[in-house]
Amino acid sequence: MSTPHQTIISPLSVPYQSYMPKTPCYAPDQTQERFLYLFRGQIVIWTPDLDSLSKIFSGLVENPSLASFPRRIILSPRRRDSMKDTAELFASLDALKVRLDAHCPLSPDVVSQIREDMRIRFTYHSNAIEGNTLTMSETKAVLADGITIGGKSLREHLEAVGHSHAIDYLEALVQRDEALTERTLREIHNLILRNIDGANAGTYRRMNVLISGAGHIPPPAERVPERMDAFFQWYGAARDRMHPVEFAARVHADFVNILHPFKDGNGRTARLIMNFELMRAGFPTVIIPVESRPAYYQNLDVIATQGNYSPFIIQIAELAKQGFAPLLGPC
């Protein structure tokens, strides 16, 4: 079923004249178990059958309806058991995005309430995942009221304040329509840690590290700069080749798994830059609940040990769907 401003397309038949820029279109091919989607002027094929790629490619290129279509075609193999789930999730997210874009404007008071609620919940859950013991109500008291919580460490208070400042910084970057750069990444990390560990805030680690409970080892410290260069090269090339939610999830996963460039604060930084990409694309903030920490860590480890991003992408996409609820209420 198509949604407003969307065109469902099928393999070898793409009505170019009805294409809406920046509006993804998906078509499951149930018999061939392939998915084709149109996104930001590109045709993307997902298929687990590498032998069929050349045949699909030839059929698309030879199709007359593609004569004036941008000619960047990306062939992306996907695991058969997850293609349908991810394609349907992306389609439902895009339908929600269309509804949100067409929704009546929220009042300034409502927007302010939603932003404050997001700030508190995001800060609480992201810090709790890392072991911070402030409760949700205590986090609110620290951020909204400036209250010091008895029995809680100074570090835990500073973690809450630093994370909140980092959210402010992300929102300012989005307002200026800036992309993530090495400079802005370091500043995000600096805001998280500068009042806790100033010597390492915004500075790549100078020691090797292990990730407790993970089945992989991050690169040695001396390779972090070159890995970061490679990450930003990929970042610049990949953003327009993926659905925004998939891209945001990949940014998070690759940063924290493949790179782990800082001594501390990598998880919080990863969740912040993931949400930065979602904000830039007009999607709601994804808050990973501390209660989902075991599945979250397991999905990240599957990426690092098996190269399978699908479980993590699906987890993030499901959370993104939940994020639309407070934004699509009655006018």
By annotation, the residues acting in catalysis are 260
Phi/psi of residue 37, each to 5°? -140, 155
Cα 243 to Cα 31, 37, 160, 281, 305: the distances in Å are: 24, 10, 31, 10, 24
**Contact indicator for 301, 216 with CB cutoff of 8 Å:** yes
Closest to 278 (Cα-Cα) out of 41, 43, 100, 72: 100
Burial 282-301 (b: 16+ CB within 10 A, else e): ebbbbbbebeeeeebbebbb
**Contact indicator for 77, 46 with CB cutoff of 8 Å:** yes
Interhelix angle for 108-129 vs 154-175, to 10°?
130
Residue 97, burial from CB neighbour count under 10 angstroms (0-12, 13-18, 19+):
buried
Residue with tokens 């404007």: 105
In the DSSP assignment, the letter for residue 255 is I
Neighbours of 85 (CB within 10 A): 15
Neighbours of 161 (CB within 10 A): 17
Phi/psi of residue 46, each to 5°? -110, 125
Radius of gyration of the chain (CA): 21
